[in-house]
Structure 1
Amino acid sequence: MAKYINPYTDFGFKKLFGEEANKDLLIDFLNQLLPAHHQIADLNFRNVESLADLSAERKAIFDIHCKAVSGERFIVEMQKAKVKYFKDRSLFYVTFPIRDQAQTGEWNFKLEPIYFVAILDFEYDEAEERRKFRRDVALKDQDGDLFFDKLHFKFLQMPLFRLQEHELKTRFDKWCYFLKNLESFDHIPNILNEPIFQKAFGTAELASLSAEQRDRYEQSLIQYRDLKSALETAIEEKAVEIAKNAILEGADNKFIAKITGLTVEQIEKLSVELKKQN
Protein backbone atom coordinates (compact mmCIF):
# COMPACT_ATOMS: atom_id res chain seq x y z
CA MET A 1 0.00 0.00 0.00
CA ALA A 2 1.28 3.45 -0.91
CA LYS A 3 1.87 5.89 1.92
CA TYR A 4 1.44 9.04 -0.16
CA ILE A 5 -0.98 10.19 -2.87
CA ASN A 6 -0.25 10.10 -6.57
CA PRO A 7 0.30 13.79 -7.46
CA TYR A 8 -0.79 13.27 -11.08
CA THR A 9 -4.36 12.36 -10.16
CA ASP A 10 -6.87 15.21 -10.22
CA PHE A 11 -7.36 14.84 -6.46
CA GLY A 12 -3.64 14.64 -5.67
CA PHE A 13 -2.72 17.57 -7.91
CA LYS A 14 -5.37 19.78 -6.36
CA LYS A 15 -4.54 18.63 -2.82
CA LEU A 16 -0.92 19.70 -3.17
CA PHE A 17 -1.23 22.78 -5.35
CA GLY A 18 -4.87 23.87 -5.48
CA GLU A 19 -5.90 24.59 -1.89
CA GLU A 20 -5.65 27.88 -0.01
CA ALA A 21 -4.07 26.13 2.96
CA ASN A 22 -1.23 24.91 0.76
CA LYS A 23 -0.59 27.91 -1.44
CA ASP A 24 2.84 28.34 0.15
CA LEU A 25 3.75 25.02 -1.51
CA LEU A 26 2.58 26.30 -4.87
CA ILE A 27 4.39 29.62 -4.45
CA ASP A 28 7.64 27.85 -3.58
CA PHE A 29 7.34 25.49 -6.56
CA LEU A 30 6.41 28.18 -9.09
CA ASN A 31 9.16 30.50 -7.92
CA GLN A 32 11.67 27.87 -9.05
CA LEU A 33 10.24 28.13 -12.58
CA LEU A 34 9.60 31.87 -12.89
CA PRO A 35 12.17 34.60 -13.64
CA ALA A 36 13.54 36.91 -10.96
CA HIS A 37 11.20 39.81 -11.86
CA HIS A 38 8.14 37.59 -11.45
CA GLN A 39 8.87 35.90 -8.14
CA ILE A 40 5.52 35.48 -6.39
CA ALA A 41 4.73 37.37 -3.20
CA ASP A 42 1.09 36.20 -3.06
CA LEU A 43 -1.48 34.47 -5.22
CA ASN A 44 -5.21 33.86 -5.48
CA PHE A 45 -7.03 30.97 -7.12
CA ARG A 46 -9.76 31.85 -9.54
CA ASN A 47 -12.73 29.51 -9.24
CA VAL A 48 -12.50 28.24 -12.81
CA GLU A 49 -14.93 25.40 -12.12
CA SER A 50 -17.74 27.95 -12.01
CA LEU A 51 -17.15 29.15 -15.58
CA ALA A 52 -20.10 28.34 -17.83
CA ASP A 53 -17.96 27.38 -20.85
CA LEU A 54 -15.64 25.11 -18.89
CA SER A 55 -15.14 21.61 -20.28
CA ALA A 56 -14.71 18.73 -17.83
CA GLU A 57 -11.01 18.36 -18.57
CA ARG A 58 -10.31 22.02 -17.76
CA LYS A 59 -11.25 21.33 -14.16
CA ALA A 60 -7.70 20.01 -13.74
CA ILE A 61 -6.35 23.45 -14.67
CA PHE A 62 -5.70 26.18 -12.12
CA ASP A 63 -6.11 29.81 -13.13
CA ILE A 64 -3.81 31.53 -10.63
CA HIS A 65 -3.66 35.29 -10.23
CA CYS A 66 -0.27 36.31 -8.86
CA LYS A 67 1.30 39.39 -7.37
CA ALA A 68 5.04 39.69 -7.89
CA VAL A 69 7.44 40.93 -5.24
CA SER A 70 7.75 44.05 -7.43
CA GLY A 71 3.97 44.59 -7.18
CA GLU A 72 3.24 43.65 -10.80
CA ARG A 73 0.27 41.38 -11.44
CA PHE A 74 0.48 38.34 -13.70
CA ILE A 75 -1.37 35.07 -14.35
CA VAL A 76 -0.27 31.45 -14.22
CA GLU A 77 -2.31 28.74 -15.90
CA MET A 78 -1.16 25.48 -14.34
CA GLN A 79 -2.16 22.01 -15.46
CA LYS A 80 -1.29 18.39 -15.75
CA ALA A 81 -2.70 16.51 -18.70
CA LYS A 82 -2.78 13.20 -20.54
CA VAL A 83 -4.41 14.13 -23.83
CA LYS A 84 -3.94 13.97 -27.58
CA TYR A 85 -2.94 17.14 -29.45
CA PHE A 86 -1.34 18.40 -26.27
CA LYS A 87 0.37 21.43 -27.77
CA ASP A 88 -2.79 22.43 -29.62
CA ARG A 89 -4.77 22.24 -26.39
CA SER A 90 -2.12 24.20 -24.50
CA LEU A 91 -2.42 27.05 -26.98
CA PHE A 92 -6.21 26.88 -26.78
CA TYR A 93 -6.25 26.87 -22.98
CA VAL A 94 -4.06 29.94 -22.75
CA THR A 95 -6.64 31.93 -24.70
CA PHE A 96 -8.93 31.76 -21.64
CA PRO A 97 -6.87 34.05 -19.37
CA ILE A 98 -6.14 36.29 -22.37
CA ARG A 99 -9.81 36.67 -23.24
CA ASP A 100 -10.85 37.08 -19.61
CA GLN A 101 -8.76 40.24 -19.34
CA ALA A 102 -10.98 42.05 -21.83
CA GLN A 103 -12.68 45.08 -20.32
CA THR A 104 -15.99 46.63 -21.30
CA GLY A 105 -16.01 50.19 -22.56
CA GLU A 106 -12.79 52.04 -23.30
CA TRP A 107 -9.77 49.71 -23.05
CA ASN A 108 -6.25 50.04 -24.41
CA PHE A 109 -5.72 46.23 -24.72
CA LYS A 110 -2.85 46.15 -22.26
CA LEU A 111 -2.50 42.59 -20.96
CA GLU A 112 -1.01 41.12 -17.82
CA PRO A 113 1.82 38.61 -18.43
CA ILE A 114 0.76 34.97 -18.64
CA TYR A 115 2.72 31.81 -17.88
CA PHE A 116 1.39 28.41 -18.90
CA VAL A 117 2.92 25.70 -16.70
CA ALA A 118 2.29 22.03 -17.46
CA ILE A 119 3.51 19.12 -15.33
CA LEU A 120 3.30 16.06 -17.56
CA ASP A 121 3.57 12.43 -16.55
CA PHE A 122 4.02 11.44 -20.20
CA GLU A 123 6.25 12.31 -23.15
CA TYR A 124 4.80 13.91 -26.21
CA ASP A 125 5.12 11.69 -29.25
CA GLU A 126 7.53 13.86 -31.27
CA ALA A 127 10.80 11.92 -31.13
CA GLU A 128 13.15 14.91 -31.07
CA GLU A 129 11.37 16.36 -28.02
CA ARG A 130 11.72 13.23 -25.91
CA ARG A 131 15.23 14.31 -25.05
CA LYS A 132 14.02 17.49 -23.32
CA PHE A 133 12.76 17.23 -19.76
CA ARG A 134 12.07 20.97 -19.56
CA ARG A 135 10.99 23.26 -22.38
CA ASP A 136 10.67 27.02 -21.86
CA VAL A 137 8.84 28.48 -24.85
CA ALA A 138 8.25 32.12 -25.78
CA LEU A 139 7.31 34.07 -28.92
CA LYS A 140 10.51 34.87 -30.84
CA ASP A 141 11.31 36.26 -34.27
CA GLN A 142 13.34 34.72 -37.11
CA ASP A 143 16.60 35.70 -35.39
CA GLY A 144 15.67 34.13 -32.07
CA ASP A 145 15.06 37.50 -30.41
CA LEU A 146 12.16 37.74 -27.98
CA PHE A 147 9.15 39.30 -29.74
CA PHE A 148 6.57 39.31 -26.92
CA ASP A 149 7.47 39.03 -23.25
CA LYS A 150 3.97 38.47 -21.88
CA LEU A 151 3.31 34.89 -22.97
CA HIS A 152 5.47 31.98 -21.82
CA PHE A 153 4.98 28.21 -21.85
CA LYS A 154 6.83 25.93 -19.46
CA PHE A 155 6.53 22.20 -20.03
CA LEU A 156 7.98 19.56 -17.70
CA GLN A 157 8.04 16.01 -19.11
CA MET A 158 8.41 14.21 -15.80
CA PRO A 159 9.35 10.77 -17.23
CA LEU A 160 12.53 12.43 -18.53
CA PHE A 161 13.58 13.65 -15.09
CA ARG A 162 16.14 11.06 -14.03
CA LEU A 163 18.22 12.71 -11.30
CA GLN A 164 18.82 10.58 -8.23
CA GLU A 165 18.90 11.86 -4.65
CA HIS A 166 22.68 12.41 -4.60
CA GLU A 167 22.48 14.42 -7.85
CA LEU A 168 19.98 17.04 -6.67
CA LYS A 169 21.51 20.50 -6.53
CA THR A 170 18.73 23.11 -6.69
CA ARG A 171 15.32 23.61 -5.08
CA PHE A 172 13.82 23.02 -8.53
CA ASP A 173 15.60 19.64 -8.71
CA LYS A 174 14.17 18.76 -5.30
CA TRP A 175 10.59 19.64 -6.30
CA CYS A 176 10.86 17.53 -9.44
CA TYR A 177 12.33 14.63 -7.48
CA PHE A 178 9.47 14.97 -4.97
CA LEU A 179 6.76 14.92 -7.67
CA LYS A 180 8.36 12.16 -9.71
CA ASN A 181 8.77 9.78 -6.77
CA LEU A 182 6.13 10.83 -4.23
CA GLU A 183 3.86 7.81 -4.59
CA SER A 184 6.79 5.39 -4.12
CA PHE A 185 8.28 7.02 -0.99
CA ASP A 186 7.76 5.33 2.38
CA HIS A 187 9.58 8.07 4.33
CA ILE A 188 10.97 11.56 3.80
CA PRO A 189 14.41 11.35 2.13
CA ASN A 190 17.16 13.22 3.97
CA ILE A 191 17.65 15.69 1.13
CA LEU A 192 13.97 16.69 1.33
CA ASN A 193 13.86 16.90 5.11
CA GLU A 194 13.27 20.65 5.30
CA PRO A 195 10.15 22.64 6.29
CA ILE A 196 8.54 23.20 2.87
CA PHE A 197 8.82 19.54 1.90
CA GLN A 198 7.88 18.32 5.36
CA LYS A 199 4.59 20.16 4.87
CA ALA A 200 4.21 18.74 1.36
CA PHE A 201 4.71 15.19 2.63
CA GLY A 202 2.25 15.80 5.47
CA THR A 203 -0.33 17.10 2.97
CA ALA A 204 0.19 14.10 0.70
CA GLU A 205 -0.01 11.42 3.39
CA LEU A 206 -2.94 9.10 2.80
CA ALA A 207 -3.41 8.53 6.52
CA SER A 208 -4.27 12.21 6.95
CA LEU A 209 -7.26 12.02 4.58
CA SER A 210 -10.79 11.72 5.85
CA ALA A 211 -12.91 8.75 4.74
CA GLU A 212 -14.72 10.98 2.23
CA GLN A 213 -11.43 12.33 0.87
CA ARG A 214 -10.03 8.82 0.62
CA ASP A 215 -13.03 7.73 -1.46
CA ARG A 216 -12.59 10.72 -3.78
CA TYR A 217 -8.90 9.94 -4.12
CA GLU A 218 -9.55 6.27 -4.95
CA GLN A 219 -12.01 7.30 -7.69
CA SER A 220 -9.52 9.82 -9.01
CA LEU A 221 -6.79 7.15 -9.03
CA ILE A 222 -8.98 4.75 -11.02
CA GLN A 223 -9.74 7.45 -13.58
CA TYR A 224 -6.06 8.35 -13.80
CA ARG A 225 -4.98 4.75 -14.41
CA ASP A 226 -7.69 4.17 -17.02
CA LEU A 227 -6.78 7.35 -18.92
CA LYS A 228 -3.05 6.65 -18.69
CA SER A 229 -3.57 3.14 -20.01
CA ALA A 230 -5.65 4.41 -22.94
CA LEU A 231 -3.07 7.05 -23.84
CA GLU A 232 -0.16 4.61 -23.61
CA THR A 233 -2.05 2.18 -25.85
CA ALA A 234 -2.65 4.91 -28.46
CA ILE A 235 1.02 5.95 -28.39
CA GLU A 236 2.16 2.34 -28.69
CA GLU A 237 -0.14 1.75 -31.66
CA LYS A 238 1.22 4.83 -33.42
CA ALA A 239 4.82 3.73 -32.76
CA VAL A 240 4.08 0.27 -34.17
CA GLU A 241 2.55 1.79 -37.32
CA ILE A 242 5.59 4.02 -37.85
CA ALA A 243 7.91 1.04 -37.27
CA LYS A 244 6.06 -1.11 -39.82
CA ASN A 245 6.32 1.59 -42.48
CA ALA A 246 10.03 2.06 -41.73
CA ILE A 247 10.65 -1.69 -41.94
CA LEU A 248 8.98 -1.83 -45.34
CA GLU A 249 11.22 1.05 -46.46
CA GLY A 250 14.27 -0.97 -45.43
CA ALA A 251 15.36 1.20 -42.50
CA ASP A 252 17.88 -0.13 -39.97
CA ASN A 253 16.36 -1.65 -36.82
CA LYS A 254 18.44 0.51 -34.48
CA PHE A 255 17.32 3.64 -36.32
CA ILE A 256 13.69 2.53 -36.12
CA ALA A 257 14.08 1.90 -32.39
CA LYS A 258 15.49 5.40 -31.95
CA ILE A 259 12.62 7.17 -33.73
CA THR A 260 9.79 5.09 -32.25
CA GLY A 261 10.91 4.27 -28.72
CA LEU A 262 10.32 0.53 -29.38
CA THR A 263 13.01 -2.01 -28.55
CA VAL A 264 15.08 -3.71 -31.25
CA GLU A 265 13.50 -7.01 -30.16
CA GLN A 266 9.99 -5.59 -30.77
CA ILE A 267 11.04 -4.37 -34.21
CA GLU A 268 12.55 -7.73 -35.13
CA LYS A 269 9.27 -9.40 -34.14
CA LEU A 270 7.33 -6.92 -36.32
CA SER A 271 9.67 -7.71 -39.23
CA VAL A 272 8.90 -11.42 -38.89
CA GLU A 273 5.16 -10.72 -38.78
CA LEU A 274 5.35 -8.54 -41.91
CA LYS A 275 7.26 -11.23 -43.79
CA LYS A 276 4.58 -13.78 -42.91
CA GLN A 277 1.85 -11.43 -44.15
CA ASN A 278 3.66 -10.93 -47.45
Structure 2
Amino acid sequence: MDLYNGHQRFISILSDYGFKVTFGNETDTRFLRKALQALIQSPVAIKHVEFIESEIPGLTKDSRSGVYDIACVDERGNQFIVEMQLSKYPDFIQRMKFYSFYRLNTLIRKGRYRFEGLPKIYCIGILAFNIFPHIPDYHNIAVLKNEKGELIDEQTTFITVELVKFKKRLTHVQTDLDKLIYTMKTIHKANKPKQFPQFWNEEWLEAAIKELDTRAMTPEKRMAYEMTLAANALAIENEQKKIEEVKKVTIRKLLLQGKLSIEEIADANDVTIEVVLEEKKGLSNK
Protein backbone atom coordinates (compact mmCIF):
# COMPACT_ATOMS: atom_id res chain seq x y z
CA MET A 1 0.00 0.00 0.00
CA ASP A 2 1.68 3.20 -1.20
CA LEU A 3 0.66 5.85 1.32
CA TYR A 4 3.16 8.49 0.21
CA ASN A 5 3.57 9.24 -3.47
CA GLY A 6 4.73 12.54 -4.94
CA HIS A 7 2.44 12.12 -7.95
CA GLN A 8 -0.75 11.80 -5.90
CA ARG A 9 -3.05 14.77 -5.50
CA PHE A 10 -4.44 13.55 -2.17
CA ILE A 11 -2.49 12.16 0.76
CA SER A 12 -3.78 8.88 2.16
CA ILE A 13 -5.79 9.12 5.39
CA LEU A 14 -3.98 5.94 6.43
CA SER A 15 -0.60 7.68 6.42
CA ASP A 16 0.78 9.25 9.59
CA TYR A 17 0.30 12.74 8.19
CA GLY A 18 -3.15 12.00 6.73
CA PHE A 19 -4.42 10.49 9.98
CA LYS A 20 -3.14 13.44 11.99
CA VAL A 21 -4.77 16.15 9.83
CA THR A 22 -8.14 14.36 9.61
CA PHE A 23 -8.87 12.27 12.70
CA GLY A 24 -6.38 14.25 14.80
CA ASN A 25 -7.33 17.75 13.60
CA GLU A 26 -7.87 19.70 16.83
CA THR A 27 -8.89 22.96 15.13
CA ASP A 28 -11.63 21.45 12.96
CA THR A 29 -13.34 18.36 14.41
CA ARG A 30 -16.20 18.04 11.91
CA PHE A 31 -14.70 14.96 10.27
CA LEU A 32 -13.70 13.31 13.54
CA ARG A 33 -17.12 13.81 15.15
CA LYS A 34 -19.01 12.37 12.18
CA ALA A 35 -16.51 9.52 11.78
CA LEU A 36 -16.83 8.55 15.44
CA GLN A 37 -20.62 8.63 15.21
CA ALA A 38 -20.48 6.33 12.18
CA LEU A 39 -17.95 3.96 13.74
CA ILE A 40 -19.96 3.45 16.96
CA GLN A 41 -23.22 3.38 14.94
CA SER A 42 -24.93 6.02 17.08
CA PRO A 43 -28.10 7.79 15.88
CA VAL A 44 -27.15 10.76 18.08
CA ALA A 45 -24.81 13.35 16.59
CA ILE A 46 -21.62 14.21 18.48
CA LYS A 47 -21.64 17.98 18.95
CA HIS A 48 -18.24 18.50 20.54
CA VAL A 49 -15.03 16.59 21.18
CA GLU A 50 -12.06 17.52 23.32
CA PHE A 51 -8.70 15.84 22.87
CA ILE A 52 -7.25 14.37 26.06
CA GLU A 53 -3.93 12.91 27.17
CA SER A 54 -2.98 10.04 24.86
CA GLU A 55 0.04 8.73 26.72
CA ILE A 56 -0.23 5.84 29.17
CA PRO A 57 2.54 6.13 31.76
CA GLY A 58 3.82 2.98 33.43
CA LEU A 59 2.36 2.85 36.93
CA THR A 60 5.38 0.94 38.24
CA LYS A 61 8.96 0.50 37.07
CA ASP A 62 8.08 -2.79 35.35
CA SER A 63 4.57 -1.99 34.07
CA ARG A 64 3.82 -1.22 30.43
CA SER A 65 3.36 2.24 29.01
CA GLY A 66 1.90 3.24 25.65
CA VAL A 67 0.45 5.95 23.46
CA TYR A 68 -2.98 6.02 21.83
CA ASP A 69 -3.16 7.38 18.28
CA ILE A 70 -6.10 9.51 19.42
CA ALA A 71 -7.91 9.96 22.73
CA CYS A 72 -10.86 12.31 23.12
CA VAL A 73 -14.09 12.87 25.03
CA ASP A 74 -17.45 14.18 23.78
CA GLU A 75 -19.98 16.54 25.37
CA ARG A 76 -21.70 13.66 27.19
CA GLY A 77 -18.44 12.43 28.72
CA ASN A 78 -18.09 9.43 26.40
CA GLN A 79 -14.44 8.44 26.01
CA PHE A 80 -12.95 7.49 22.63
CA ILE A 81 -9.67 5.75 21.90
CA VAL A 82 -8.78 5.40 18.20
CA GLU A 83 -5.93 3.20 16.96
CA MET A 84 -4.73 2.78 13.38
CA GLN A 85 -2.80 -0.41 12.60
CA LEU A 86 -1.36 -0.87 9.10
CA SER A 87 0.94 -3.83 9.72
CA LYS A 88 -0.10 -7.30 10.81
CA TYR A 89 -0.62 -7.43 14.58
CA PRO A 90 -2.07 -10.76 15.80
CA ASP A 91 -2.49 -9.51 19.39
CA PHE A 92 -4.20 -6.24 18.49
CA ILE A 93 -7.28 -7.01 20.60
CA GLN A 94 -5.07 -7.51 23.65
CA ARG A 95 -3.56 -4.07 23.03
CA MET A 96 -7.05 -2.55 22.76
CA LYS A 97 -8.01 -4.19 26.06
CA PHE A 98 -4.88 -2.81 27.69
CA TYR A 99 -5.72 0.71 26.50
CA SER A 100 -9.38 0.56 27.47
CA PHE A 101 -8.73 -0.98 30.91
CA TYR A 102 -6.18 1.71 31.68
CA ARG A 103 -8.75 4.36 30.71
CA LEU A 104 -11.38 2.67 32.90
CA ASN A 105 -8.96 2.51 35.81
CA THR A 106 -8.23 6.21 35.41
CA LEU A 107 -11.94 7.09 35.45
CA ILE A 108 -12.55 4.97 38.54
CA ARG A 109 -9.65 6.55 40.44
CA LYS A 110 -10.89 10.02 39.50
CA GLY A 111 -14.27 9.08 40.98
CA ARG A 112 -12.65 8.00 44.25
CA TYR A 113 -13.01 4.35 43.26
CA ARG A 114 -16.74 4.54 42.63
CA PHE A 115 -18.29 2.57 39.78
CA GLU A 116 -21.67 4.24 39.36
CA GLY A 117 -22.20 6.81 36.63
CA LEU A 118 -19.11 5.88 34.64
CA PRO A 119 -19.03 7.23 31.07
CA LYS A 120 -18.83 4.88 28.13
CA ILE A 121 -15.46 3.97 26.67
CA TYR A 122 -15.28 3.25 22.95
CA CYS A 123 -12.03 1.58 21.90
CA ILE A 124 -11.82 1.76 18.10
CA GLY A 125 -9.31 -0.13 15.99
CA ILE A 126 -8.91 0.55 12.26
CA LEU A 127 -6.82 -2.18 10.67
CA ALA A 128 -5.45 -2.64 7.18
CA PHE A 129 -5.31 -6.41 7.62
CA ASN A 130 -7.65 -9.18 8.67
CA ILE A 131 -7.53 -10.22 12.35
CA PHE A 132 -10.83 -12.13 12.44
CA PRO A 133 -10.60 -14.64 9.55
CA HIS A 134 -13.70 -16.46 10.84
CA ILE A 135 -15.87 -13.29 10.75
CA PRO A 136 -16.93 -12.02 7.31
CA ASP A 137 -18.05 -8.53 8.42
CA TYR A 138 -15.59 -5.66 8.00
CA HIS A 139 -17.11 -3.70 10.93
CA ASN A 140 -17.68 -5.27 14.33
CA ILE A 141 -18.98 -3.91 17.63
CA ALA A 142 -18.27 -6.04 20.71
CA VAL A 143 -19.71 -5.69 24.22
CA LEU A 144 -19.97 -8.07 27.18
CA LYS A 145 -22.71 -10.71 26.65
CA ASN A 146 -23.59 -14.08 28.17
CA GLU A 147 -23.68 -17.44 26.37
CA LYS A 148 -27.22 -16.69 25.14
CA GLY A 149 -26.16 -13.44 23.52
CA GLU A 150 -27.91 -11.37 26.20
CA LEU A 151 -26.30 -8.05 27.13
CA ILE A 152 -24.37 -8.01 30.40
CA ASP A 153 -22.55 -4.68 30.07
CA GLU A 154 -21.75 -2.11 27.37
CA GLN A 155 -19.81 0.43 29.41
CA THR A 156 -16.71 -0.55 27.45
CA THR A 157 -17.26 -1.21 23.75
CA PHE A 158 -14.72 -2.48 21.25
CA ILE A 159 -15.12 -1.48 17.60
CA THR A 160 -12.95 -2.93 14.83
CA VAL A 161 -12.79 -2.12 11.13
CA GLU A 162 -10.84 -4.47 8.85
CA LEU A 163 -10.27 -2.43 5.71
CA VAL A 164 -9.22 -5.43 3.61
CA LYS A 165 -12.72 -6.90 3.94
CA PHE A 166 -14.47 -3.81 2.60
CA LYS A 167 -15.15 -4.55 -1.07
CA LYS A 168 -18.29 -2.50 -1.78
CA ARG A 169 -18.57 -0.81 -5.14
CA LEU A 170 -19.32 2.90 -5.20
CA THR A 171 -22.93 2.30 -6.26
CA HIS A 172 -23.52 0.31 -3.04
CA VAL A 173 -21.99 2.89 -0.68
CA GLN A 174 -24.91 4.37 1.25
CA THR A 175 -24.22 4.76 4.97
CA ASP A 176 -21.83 7.23 6.62
CA LEU A 177 -19.72 4.27 7.76
CA ASP A 178 -19.37 3.02 4.20
CA LYS A 179 -18.59 6.53 2.96
CA LEU A 180 -15.87 6.81 5.60
CA ILE A 181 -14.25 3.47 4.77
CA TYR A 182 -14.55 3.99 1.02
CA THR A 183 -12.82 7.36 1.37
CA MET A 184 -10.07 5.92 3.55
CA LYS A 185 -9.34 3.22 0.98
CA THR A 186 -9.54 5.32 -2.19
CA ILE A 187 -8.80 9.02 -1.57
CA HIS A 188 -5.09 8.71 -2.41
CA LYS A 189 -5.95 7.09 -5.76
CA ALA A 190 -8.18 9.93 -6.99
CA ASN A 191 -6.63 12.68 -9.09
CA LYS A 192 -9.38 13.98 -11.38
CA PRO A 193 -12.78 15.43 -10.35
CA LYS A 194 -14.62 12.84 -12.45
CA GLN A 195 -13.24 10.22 -10.04
CA PHE A 196 -14.80 11.96 -7.02
CA PRO A 197 -18.03 10.45 -5.67
CA GLN A 198 -20.87 12.88 -4.98
CA PHE A 199 -20.77 12.31 -1.23
CA TRP A 200 -17.27 13.84 -1.05
CA ASN A 201 -19.14 17.15 -1.15
CA GLU A 202 -20.68 16.43 2.25
CA GLU A 203 -19.36 18.90 4.81
CA TRP A 204 -17.52 16.43 7.06
CA LEU A 205 -15.75 14.64 4.22
CA GLU A 206 -15.07 17.83 2.30
CA ALA A 207 -13.33 19.26 5.39
CA ALA A 208 -11.07 16.21 5.65
CA ILE A 209 -10.32 15.99 1.93
CA LYS A 210 -9.29 19.65 1.91
CA GLU A 211 -6.61 18.82 4.48
CA LEU A 212 -5.34 15.98 2.26
CA ASP A 213 -5.17 18.01 -0.97
CA THR A 214 -1.50 18.66 -1.80
CA ARG A 215 -2.52 21.47 -4.18
CA ALA A 216 -4.14 23.44 -1.37
CA MET A 217 -1.25 23.16 1.11
CA THR A 218 0.15 26.27 2.73
CA PRO A 219 3.96 26.50 2.92
CA GLU A 220 3.73 25.53 6.60
CA LYS A 221 1.64 22.43 5.86
CA ARG A 222 3.92 21.50 2.96
CA MET A 223 6.91 21.65 5.29
CA ALA A 224 5.10 19.53 7.91
CA TYR A 225 4.20 16.98 5.24
CA GLU A 226 7.75 16.80 3.89
CA MET A 227 9.14 16.42 7.41
CA THR A 228 6.76 13.49 7.90
CA LEU A 229 8.00 11.97 4.63
CA ALA A 230 11.59 12.32 5.78
CA ALA A 231 10.82 10.83 9.21
CA ASN A 232 9.04 7.86 7.62
CA ALA A 233 11.89 7.28 5.17
CA LEU A 234 14.39 7.31 8.04
CA ALA A 235 12.23 4.94 10.11
CA ILE A 236 11.98 2.50 7.19
CA GLU A 237 15.73 2.69 6.61
CA ASN A 238 16.47 2.03 10.30
CA GLU A 239 14.00 -0.86 10.38
CA GLN A 240 15.64 -2.37 7.30
CA LYS A 241 19.04 -2.11 8.97
CA LYS A 242 17.69 -3.94 12.02
CA ILE A 243 16.29 -6.72 9.81
CA GLU A 244 19.59 -7.07 7.96
CA GLU A 245 21.54 -7.23 11.23
CA VAL A 246 19.24 -9.96 12.58
CA LYS A 247 19.78 -11.92 9.38
CA LYS A 248 23.55 -11.58 9.70
CA VAL A 249 23.46 -12.88 13.27
CA THR A 250 21.34 -15.85 12.16
CA ILE A 251 23.67 -16.56 9.23
CA ARG A 252 26.73 -16.52 11.49
CA LYS A 253 25.07 -18.97 13.91
CA LEU A 254 24.18 -21.33 11.06
CA LEU A 255 27.70 -21.13 9.66
CA LEU A 256 29.19 -21.99 13.04
CA GLN A 257 26.81 -24.95 13.40
CA GLY A 258 28.01 -26.27 10.05
CA LYS A 259 24.84 -28.25 9.35
CA LEU A 260 23.67 -26.37 6.23
CA SER A 261 25.34 -25.56 2.95
CA ILE A 262 26.04 -21.98 1.84
CA GLU A 263 23.14 -22.22 -0.60
CA GLU A 264 20.73 -23.53 2.06
CA ILE A 265 21.64 -20.74 4.48
CA ALA A 266 21.15 -18.11 1.78
CA ASP A 267 17.77 -19.55 0.84
CA ALA A 268 16.60 -19.81 4.46
CA ASN A 269 17.40 -16.14 5.12
CA ASP A 270 16.31 -14.76 1.74
CA VAL A 271 19.75 -13.35 0.91
CA THR A 272 22.28 -13.89 -1.87
CA ILE A 273 25.08 -16.43 -1.64
CA GLU A 274 27.52 -13.49 -1.68
CA VAL A 275 26.08 -12.19 1.60
CA VAL A 276 26.62 -15.58 3.28
CA LEU A 277 30.16 -15.82 1.90
CA GLU A 278 30.92 -12.33 3.25
CA GLU A 279 29.78 -13.39 6.72
CA LYS A 280 31.84 -16.58 6.45
CA LYS A 281 34.87 -14.50 5.53
CA GLY A 282 34.29 -12.30 8.55
CA LEU A 283 34.20 -15.35 10.84
CA SER A 284 37.42 -16.66 9.33
CA ASN A 285 39.19 -13.36 9.95
CA LYS A 286 38.13 -13.45 13.61
TM-score (norm 1): 0.70
Q: Distance in 2 between matches of 1:227 and 1:156?
A: 30
SS at match of 2:28: helix
Q: Which runs of 4+ in 1 moved over 6 A?
A: 54-57, 223-229
Contact 1:139 1:147 in 2 (8 A): yes
Aligned to 1:215: 226
Which of residues 174, 178, 188 is equivalent to 1:173? 178
Q: Distance in 2 between matches of 1:37 and 1:193?
A: 21
SS at match of 1:155: strand
What letter matches 1:121 in structure 2? A
Give the deviation of 1:173 after TM superposition: 1.4
Q: Distance in 2 between matches of 1:151 and 1:80?
A: 19
Contact 1:60 1:80 in 2 (8 A): no
Q: Distance in 2 between matches of 1:37 and 1:169?
A: 15
Q: Which runs of 5+ in 1 are unaligned?
A: 230-278
Question: Taking structure 1 as reference, are residues 199 and 105 closer, same or farther at Cα in structure 2, changes over 3 Å only?
Answer: closer
1:200 lines up with 2:204 in the alignment: no
Please give the residue correspondences for 1:99-248 in structure 2 after superposition, counting only pairs within 5 Å.
99-103=105-109, 106-110=112-116, 111-124=118-131, 126-129=132-135, 131-188=136-193, 189-191=196-198, 192-207=200-215, 208=217, 210-219=221-230, 221-222=232-233
Which of residues 79, 95, 103 is equivalent to 2:83? 79
Question: Taking structure 1 as reference, are residues 180 and 106 closer, same or farther at Cα in structure 2, changes over 3 Å only?
Answer: closer
Contact 1:10 1:220 in 2 (8 A): no
In the TM superposition, what whole-angstrom CA distance separates every residue of 1:132-190 from its partner, at most 9, and x where no partner exists? Answer: 21111111011110100211111000111111222211222111111111111114513
TM-score (norm 2): 0.68
Which of residues 13, 18, 41 is equivalent to 1:12? 18
1:23 lines up with 2:34 in the alignment: no
What letter matches 2:125 in structure 1? A
Give the deviation of 1:16 after TM superposition: 0.7
Contact 2:128 2:163 in 1 (8 A): yes
Over aligned residues, Cα RMSD in angstroms? 3.0
What letter matches 1:170 in structure 2? T
Question: Taking structure 1 as reference, are residues 225 and 171 closer, same or farther at Cα in structure 2, changes over 3 Å only?
Answer: farther
Structure richer in helix, relative to its length: 1
Question: Taking structure 1 as reference, are residues 29 and 158 closer, same or farther at Cα in structure 2, changes over 3 Å only?
Answer: same
Give the deviation of 1:113 after TM superposition: 0.8
What letter matches 1:79 in structure 2? E
SS at match of 1:40: coil
Contact 1:6 1:182 in 2 (8 A): yes
Aligned to 1:66: 74
Contact 1:10 1:60 in 2 (8 A): no
Which of residues 21, 40, 47 is equivalent to 2:46? 40
Aligned to 2:272: none
In the TM superposition, what whole-angstrom CA distance separates every residue of 1:100-125 from its partner, at most 9, and x where no partner exists? Answer: 1133684422321111111111112x
1:88 lines up with 2:85 in the alignment: no
Please give the residue correspondences for 1:251-270 in structure 2 after superposition, counting only pairs within 5 Å.
none
Q: Which runs of 5+ in 2 are unaligned?
A: 1-6, 241-286
User: Kindly, what percent of the aligned residue pairs are identical?
Assistant: 19
Q: Distance in 1 between matches of 2:22 and 2:176?
A: 17
SS at match of 1:80: strand
Q: Distance in 1 between matches of 2:111 and 2:65?
A: 32
What letter matches 2:72 in structure 1? I
Contact 1:12 1:204 in 2 (8 A): yes
Q: Name which of structure 1's ranges 140-149 and 197-206 shifts more when overlaid on structure 2.
A: 197-206
